[in-house]
Structure 1
Amino acid sequence: MRIAPETSPMLIGAALIGAGLLLRRVEPDALSLPDKPDVAHRDSGARRAARITRDGIAKVLPSNLTGSVGRTLLMMGAGLVLVRLLDMAADESEQLF
């Protein structure tokens, strides 16, 4: 079965959306960041700098990696489907797909 080139962006977009929803639904514990303990720190020097840097990076990261990847796949899939739908509404000489 060959997929028509004009429908392949829609199928790929739908597959990306499905994969994104699946990843957002399933969040394995292996990809979760541990909670930061609230304790007094007694480190200094290079170890203190390393801890502060680590904590700063951890604040930016999502609590679970699959949630972030799933969200990205959802946006990519929705964007691809939207581009294709708008492309279908455009003039034939201006179409991308």
Structure 2
Amino acid sequence: MSAAEAKTWFTTSQSAIDAQLRNLPIISVAKEDVQLAILKLAASLPDYRSKIFLSNLENIRTANDENRCATVRTVFSQTLLLPEPYQGYLARSLFSLKI
């Protein structure tokens, strides 16, 4: 992760923590928007990685630790590279635990 990506991630995290401490309501994201963002993320990957990512994501609850970790790493690293509104959709879903 580059310094700029790390700064963006920490700023987003700080905003989420501040919102929670202030008891602000969670901004929900439509399931369709999250699905669209996941597909946009998958499309940003090389074809072979995209197929593996989508398969691992679909089977995340039964996947082995290696595949789970790879999938989560992909979500966290690639989300920062997505354009808005897709970046926001995934960030909101991650912070509200509604994936």
TM bracket (short chain):
under 0.3
TM-score (norm 2): 0.27
Q: Which has the higher contact order (CA 8 A, sep 6+)?
A: 1
Max radius of gyration: which structure? 1
